[in-house]
Chain A
Amino acid sequence: MGAYADGIEPGLDLGTRELVITPDWIEKYMGSIDARNPWYTDDSPFGGAIAPCAVFNYEMELFAGWHPPGISGRILNTGQTWEFRRPMRPGQRVILKGRVQDRYWKQGREYISMEARAYDEEGALLCRTVATHAWPAPRPNESTP
Chain B
Amino acid sequence: MPYRRDPRLARPAPQRVDTVRLRASEVPVGFEVPAFERGITREMARIHAAPMQNFHTVLEDAQALGYPDIVIAGPMFTCFFAEMFTRCFGEDWITTGDMEFKLVKPVFANQTIRARAVCAGHEKIGERVKVRLDIWCERHDDGVKTSVGSASVTLHP
Q: Could you tell me which A residues sit within 8 Å of B by CB distance?
A: 28-29, 31-35, 37, 39, 45-46, 50, 52-54, 57-58, 61, 73, 76-87, 129-131
Q: Is the CB of B86 within 8 A of A32?
A: no
Query: Which chain A residues border B100 with CB–CB below 8 Å?
Result: 79-82, 130
Question: Smallest Cβ distance from B146 to chain A, in angstroms?
Answer: 12
Query: Which chain A residues border B96 with CB–CB below 8 Å?
Result: 84-85
**Most chain-A Cβ atoms within 10 A of its Cβ — which of B36, B50, B77, B78?**
B78
Query: Which chain B residues border A82 with CB–CB below 8 Å?
Result: 78, 82, 97-100
Query: Which chain B residues border A58 with CB–CB below 8 Å?
Result: 48-49, 73, 75
Question: Smallest Cβ distance from B106 to chain A, in angstroms?
Answer: 9
The verdict on A79 contacting B103 (CB below 8 Å), with A29-B79, A33-B80 known, is: yes
The verdict on A57 contacting B75 (CB below 8 Å), with A31-B44, A31-B47 known, is: yes
| Complex Cα–Cα for A73 and B56 (A) | 11
Query: Which chain A residues border B45 with CB–CB below 8 Å?
Result: 32
Tell me whether B9 is interfacial, beta carbon within 8 Å. Answer: no
Question: Smallest Cβ distance from A63 to chain B, in angstroms?
Answer: 14
Q: Is the CB of B94 within 8 A of A33?
A: no
Q: Is the CB of B78 within 8 A of A80?
A: yes
Q: Is the CB of B98 within 8 A of A83?
A: yes
Query: Which chain A residues border B97 with CB–CB below 8 Å?
Result: 53, 82-84
| Complex Cα–Cα for A29 and B49 (A) | 10
Q: Could you tell me which B residues sit within 8 Å of A by CB distance?
A: 19, 21, 36, 38, 44-45, 47-50, 55, 65, 73-80, 82-83, 86-87, 90-91, 93-103, 149
| Complex Cα–Cα for A45 and B55 (A) | 39
Given contacts A57-B75, A57-B79, A82-B98, 20 further A-B contacts (CB under 8 A): A28-B50, A32-B44, A33-B48, A46-B91, A52-B79, A52-B83, A53-B82, A54-B82, A78-B103, A79-B100, A79-B101, A79-B103, A80-B100, A81-B99, A82-B78, A82-B100, A83-B97, A84-B82, A84-B95, A84-B98
Query: Which chain A residues border B98 with CB–CB below 8 Å?
Result: 81-84
| Complex Cα–Cα for A76 and B101 (A) | 14
Query: Which chain B residues border A84 with CB–CB below 8 Å?
Result: 82, 93-98
Question: Smallest Cβ distance from A141 to chain B, in angstroms?
Answer: 28
Query: Which chain B residues border A83 with CB–CB below 8 Å?
Result: 97-98
| Complex Cα–Cα for A102 and B79 (A) | 24
The verdict on A37 contacting B19 (CB below 8 Å), with A57-B78, A77-B74 known, is: yes
Question: Smallest Cβ distance from A12 to chain B, in angstroms?
Answer: 22
Question: Smallest Cβ distance from B15 to chain A, in angstroms?
Answer: 16
The verdict on A50 contacting B94 (CB below 8 Å), with A32-B47, A58-B49, A80-B74 known, is: yes
| Complex Cα–Cα for A72 and B96 (A) | 35
| Complex Cα–Cα for A82 and B83 (A) | 13
19 sample A-B contacts, Cβ–Cβ < 8 Å, listed by A number: A28-B48, A28-B50, A32-B47, A33-B38, A33-B44, A33-B48, A33-B83, A35-B36, A39-B19, A46-B94, A52-B82, A57-B75, A77-B73, A82-B98, A83-B97, A84-B95, A86-B95, A87-B95, A130-B100
